[in-house]
Amino acid sequence: MNMRENDRAAWLYGPLARCRAVFATKSVPWRIVLLGPPGVGKGTQAAFLTQQLGACHLSTGDVFRAARSQRDKTPSPVMAAALEYMSHGHLVPDEIVWQMVCERVTCLRCQGGFVLDGFPRTLAQADSLRKLMEKEQLKLDAVVNYVLPPAEIVARISGRRTCDKCKAIFHVTSQPPLLQGICDHCGGRLYQREDDHPESSAVRLDAYEKSTAPLIQFYRNRGLLVTVVATGSPSEIFQRTATALQARRESGQALRPATSVAY
């Protein structure tokens, strides 16, 4: 297993930031999109995948959270517009999210590949990403769709806790910290994000079904979809994901019908 990770400075802090180094894997890099409703564990699986593949974890959520915490830096006009929407509790419009991604196009060219988490969220974003990657002469290798029953999703969301420093994620029952309320990795304070409260779950799931779920058919039609059932422990889910991706690459399914992995 490859234990090295690419630095994400450019992705998190904008086009003027520079990564310390780019680690290019000896094998062909992977370029992957992760899909799945909130609470399904995409962030945890992205961390596993980027560690395994030596790729960059490109999370749009991480970008917005990093921007909120940079009180001593002036955000780009695009990011300032995004933060304005977020400050009023509104979703950031497609066009602004897309401009934020375009500011970071060099990250899509990363020689180590990428795992894109949180984008695209709509058909319009997916089509824009397709056109950009064609322009850059890049191709997606797979789109992993994680599925889980709604009741389990709500339980996962409401029990999730996030570190206020390193953003590591824990769960009060399935993945508790060694010390209650304290991050195992950096000692930061664990807190419950506003959108992780139970009353927010139904709204988030409904928004997902309306805007993001249609992407499943979009990518299935392009022969990119790999469906993985997200039950069990994070390591079990990762093993399913890794097995499905390895089988896909070995069989050369770049343009073949979608793969479904059921466990």
Work out the average pLDDT over 96-116: 92
* Mean pLDDT value of segment 188-193: 93
Residue 35 lies in a domain: yes
Q: Is 240 a catalytic residue?
A: no
Total structural domains within the chain: 1
Q: What is the CATH number of the domain that holds 69?
A: 3.40.50.300
Residue 164 lies inside a defined structural domain of this protein = no
Model confidence at 26, pLDDT cuts 50, 70, 90, reads low
**Does 31 qualify as catalytic in the annotation?**
no
Q: Which amino acid is at 145?
A: N
Residue entry with tokens 């399904």: 40
Distance from chain centroid for Cα 171 = 18
Which of 8, 42, 156, 248 is an active site residue? 42
What's phi and psi for 260, nearest 5 deg? Answer: -120, 125
Active site residue 8: no
- DSSP category for residue 258: P
- Residue 19 located in a structural domain: yes
Task: Assess contact for 104 and 12: CB atoms under 8 A.
Answer: no
d(CA 6, CA 23): 6
Six token digits for residue 61: 């959520």
Which pLDDT belongs to residue 258? 34
Domain of residue 125, residue span = 1-147+223-231
Residue 215 within any structural domain of the chain: no
> Is the confidence at residue 228, as pLDDT, over 70?
yes
Considering only 73-77, 141-145, 183-187, which range has the smallest mean pLDDT? 73-77
Residue 163 lies in a domain: no
Interval 205-210 mean pLDDT: 83
The catalytic residue among 8, 31, 104, 121 is: 121
Contacts of 179 by beta carbon, 8 Å cutoff, 6+ apart? none
Q: Which listed residue (31, 104, 160, 167) is catalytic?
A: 160
| Higher per-residue pLDDT: 26 or 237 | 237
Residue 129 in contact with residue 157, Cβ under 8 Å? no
Residue with the larger pLDDT of the pair 48 and 262:
48
Band of pLDDT at residue 263, cut at 50, 70 and 90: very low
In a domain, residue 174? The reply is no
For residue 161, CA distances in Å to 50, 139, 234 come to: 21, 35, 15
Catalytic entry in 68, 165, 193, 220: 193
Residue 235 burial by CB count (10 A; 0-12/13-18/19+): exposed, middle or buried?
Answer: exposed
Q: How confident is the model at residue 23 (pLDDT cuts 50, 70, 90)?
A: low
DSSP label at residue 182? B
Identify whether the C-beta of residue 29 lies closer than 8 Å to the C-beta of residue 146: no
Banded model confidence at residue 133, pLDDT cuts 50, 70, 90:
very high
Q: 212 lies in a domain?
A: no
Q: Is 160 a catalytic residue?
A: yes
Is the pLDDT score of 18 beyond 90? no
DSSP structure class, residue 74: P
Closest by Cα among 209, 218, 66 to 128:
218
- 121 catalytic? Reply is yes
Closest CA to 62 of 158, 144, 207, 167: 167
Among candidate residues 65, 68, 165, 204, the one labeled active-site is 204
Is residue 193 situated within a structural domain? no
